[in-house]
Amino acid sequence: MYNGQEYPMRIAAIKAADEQWASTYIKVADMAKAMGGRAYSTGTHIVIESGPEYVARNCKDSCVMIYAYQDYTYMQGSGWVYNGYVVTAKHVIEGAERIEVFPDDSIYGAYATVEYADPEIDLAVLKLDRDLGLPSVTLGDSDKLVEGQKLVAITSPKGYQNAIEECLYSGTALTDIGTLLLITEGKSLIGGSSGGAIFSLNGELVAMTIRGDEGSNTAIPINRLKPVLKKVIK
Which amino acids are annotated catalytic? 91, 122, 194
Q: Give the closest residue to 41 by CA, choosing from 53, 29, 52.
A: 29
3-state secondary structure (DSSP) of residue 126: strand
Contact 167, 182 (CB under 8 A): yes
How far is C-alpha 212 from the chain's CA centre?
16
Helix-strand-coil split of the chain, %, nearest 5: 15, 40, 40
Sign of CA dihedral 146, 149, 152, 157: positive
Q: What is the DSSP pairing of strand 110-117 with strand 98-102?
A: antiparallel
Name residue 85's amino acid. Answer: Y
What span, in angstroms and rounded, lies between the C-alpha atoms of 233 and 15?
55
5 DSSP 8-state letter: B
